[in-house]
Amino acid sequence: MTHLEFHDGIAVLNLGDDENRFSPTLLDEIEADIERALEEGAQGLVTTGGGKFYSNGLDLDWVGAHSDRLEWYVGRVHDLFARVLALPVPTAAAVVGHAFGAGAMLAMSHDFRVMRTDRGFFCLPESDIRIPFTPGMTALLQAKFTPQTAVASMTTGRRFGGADALRFGIVDAVADEDAVTTDAVDLLRPLAGKDRGTLGAIKESMFAGPLAVLRG
């Protein structure tokens, strides 16, 4: 279950205490919390987790039990990426633990990322689990990665620890376990007060390509 709280105008959305896989229920909760944060005047959004995972991505058990709804489900996940990518307030992912697959892609949908220094991996395992990226996922990642990082992360299944992720430009900063979320909030504080209309228009223009593919 998600939890939303505010830190001096910055909304902090905790995705949960388990693997935080994107079940339809969790997707509903995340979307509702984002909407609530905006309605209540949030000047920024941080997403985080409460356990050893930021998010383990797609709920493959749900997919296996509902294969006839796969297209709908992938569309829901794409909608979340697009929503965060174009959000009209500054955003940061506090990667407190493992971020795998679509969980890593959610982190990349944010403007900034802070990752735990000593534990947890950022990983795109699609090449090893035989699940190709969708065109929308590819467009999102290529909009955020340098060509070198795209190859290193998308084609190898490599697990990036905090220092490695920082070196490759995947994250913007690293922090100790108890400071990841706080540092992500602090990263957004100087950006509070940006005009939503202007910032939203800038992001729509910056990411027009991946947004068009994600939105289908």
What is the structure's pLDDT at 59?
Answer: 97
What is the structure's pLDDT at 179?
Answer: 97
Eight-class DSSP state of 117: S
Tokens (6 digits) for 157: 């299944």
- Is the pLDDT at 35 greater than 90, yes or no? yes
What is the structure's pLDDT at 51?
Answer: 82
Banded pLDDT at 209 (limits 50, 70, 90): very high
In the chain, the domains with their CATH numbers are: 3-215 (3.90.226.10)
Diameter of the chain by CA atoms? 46
Distances (CA, A) of 30 to 20, 56, 159: 11, 15, 26
pLDDT by residue (tens digit) across 87-103?
A: 999 999 999 999 999 99
58: amino acid identity, one letter = L
Strand-strand pairing, 159-160 and 122-123: antiparallel
| Contact residues for 51 (Cβ-Cβ < 8 A; gap 6+) | 16, 17, 18, 97
Eight-class DSSP state of 194: -
40: amino acid identity, one letter = E
How many CB atoms within 10 Å of residue 130? 7
Tokens (6 digits) for 113: 């990322």
pLDDT by residue (tens digit) across 173-193?
A: 999 999 999 999 999 999 999
Q: What is the DSSP string of 17-83?
A: SS---B-HHHHHHHHHHHHHHHHTT-SEEEEE-SSSEEE--B-HHHHHH-GGGHHHHHHHHHHHHHH
Task: Note whether 108 and 55 are within 8 A (CB).
Answer: no
pLDDT by residue (tens digit) across 125-168?
A: 999 999 999 999 999 999 999 999 999 999 999 999 999 999 99
pLDDT averaged over every residue in the chain: 97
How many CB atoms within 10 Å of residue 205? 10
Helix, strand or coil, per DSSP, at residue 200: helix
Task: Note whether 121 and 170 are within 8 A (CB).
Answer: no
Q: Is the pTM of this model over 0.95?
A: yes
Tokens (6 digits) for 73: 């489900």
What is the structure's pLDDT at 72?
Answer: 98
